[in-house]
Structure 1
Amino acid sequence: MTRPPAENQELYRFSTAERWVHRTSSTLMMVAIVTAAFLYLPMLAELVGRRRLLVTVHEWAGIALPAPLLAGIFFRSLRADLRRLNRFGPQDKGWAWRAMRYGTRAAGAAGKFNAGQKLYAALIAGATLVMMGTGLLMWFPHLSSLTWRTGATFVHDWLALLVGVLVIGHVRMAMKDPEARHGMRTGRVSPAWARREHRLWAEEEAEKQAEAESAEG
């Protein structure tokens, strides 16, 4: 039987590289969303005098979005967590449905990332790639026909709305969980929070700790 870590001994959840990738990616995403809002919403567009500058900032923020992740690929901790995000286990089956009905705490045991976080990561990654492609067609109109540009604009605009909704939902969930924000800010979380929100991961960490103590002994 594995021994749980002491309550005052925080668990290591995210490396420095992972936290910086998250911060820079979220900053670029927020810049892209805010500039898009000022470009497309009439009530906000009236407040902007230098629209061309805003367009340039929006374009480069979008193009730079994959850069933090590509840089983070060189770190083992990030690659390990990407593998976790990309794999759905038996515990993830029906998790999203239960979370919507009863809340995340009653949705069942989760690993380091629950099914909702995995779905969010997949949707954001896919949407970012599509938006980059459609954005490039809009940025360089001579590369494609009018039909392609029209379709790209339609997809880009509606996908931007979806991404905005997803990001707002993500921020809302984070604001409701101070411990999760603490983990992303410092890289460490309390054992109590880990057992409550990510029990399978907490048990996995307890096993690693027990093995390490056994090896030392």
Structure 2
Amino acid sequence: MSAVRPTKNVVVFDYGFGNVRSAERALARVGANVEITRDYDKAMDADGLLVPGVGAFSACMQGLKDARGDWIIGRRLSGGRPVMGICVGMQILFERGIEHGVETEGLDEWPGTVGPLKAPVVPHMGWNTVEAPADSQAFKGLDADARFYFVHSYAAHDWSLEVTNPAIRAPKVTWATHGERFVAAVENRALWATQFHPEKSGDAGAQLLTNWIETL
């Protein structure tokens, strides 16, 4: 994969939940200048902020708040500054999450609830295709049969955000199916997110990260 130029500065936000080293290597592979940190100023000043996430929704939210990540994400997005969430880093962008009967407030960037994935085999672990919109920027340059790596037991099953103002670009929602259909990725102006792990998805994941870097 050829490097992206000019070089963009990306912070992988280190709040204790996420494969930060894998994300760092994947972003460096596509030409970004990457730093792993929870420093407020560096996270605010970076061209792009990547928020990984693994584990429980509630624990990730608490870790994010402890590191002021909720404040940083909100401030960046209010100024149109790019943010990308991965796996649970995507789930916490929704209004709430329910795990083992426990309901936790998310960042509420999008309405909706993240809940248990209903499938014959859970967790959903392995490679899967996605259904991306034809005009998706995230999946630009990728074939329809491109496969991405998923590891999750919870998902957002519905998308209810409606945009009625024609001057505002509607979010592009990508879907995948494992037992049931669920949200696999979202492109919402400065905010992108994926349920799968692009940093573990080989060349397809590298192309998606390249596409994100090109928007910074």
- When normalised by structure 1's length, the TM-score is 0.29
Bigger share in helix: 1
Bigger share in strand: 2
Larger Rg: 1
Higher relative contact order (Cα pairs below 8 Å, separated by 6+ residues): 1
